[in-house]
Amino acid sequence: MSKVPFKPGNLLYPLPAVMVSCGDEPDNFNIITIAWTGTICSDPPMCYISVRPERYSHEIISRTGEFVINITTESLAFATDWCGVKSGRDVNKFKTLSLTPEKGQIVKAPLIAESPLNIECRVKDVKRLGSHDMFISEVVAIDADEKFIDKSTGSFQLNHAQPLAYSHGKYYGLGEKIGGFGFSVKKKKH
């Protein structure tokens, strides 16, 4: 295999494409689509989102110090893309897309009811990094659609919700399962 030099950039794909909801009152509720997101720590549970300072949601999250990461699905692909190209300064995204704002357990920011999993977050720190500011946040609550909880194990089965992924400007559904954690070293049954 031949390798060629390539300009430095963000080529770590695929990423989750999530809709982040924010606001503390119905008149300022907003949704922003984010692909720059991920896990930071498991104990305490922490994650991050990175947002350009000029985005409408940046001011809302900076002011309120909280947001909700709403996991997206193939059925939410249109809304996910639309919320990434339209500004909440110009349109009420919940109303326009007929999405349902729902009260969370802890934060004032609304959950998106149509999302199978909502991650309620409180900002702990903001890192200004260049084109984006990283909101480092503690996960303070999880809201899971009960139809995706395995009754026998109690685990959340996100794969059954058909999650959406983002890869280099395009959205994809996830493919077939290849293996589980540790499958490479698991002893085979005879």
In the chain, where the domains are located:
15-173
Q: Give the model's pLDDT for residue 12.
A: 84
pTM for the whole thing?
0.93
- CATH number for the domain formed by residue range(s) 15-173: 2.30.110.10
Digit-coded pLDDT (tens) for 110-163: 999 999 999 999 999 999 999 999 999 999 999 999 999 999 999 999 889 999
Count CB neighbours of 8 within 10 A: 6
The one-letter amino acid code at 137 reads S
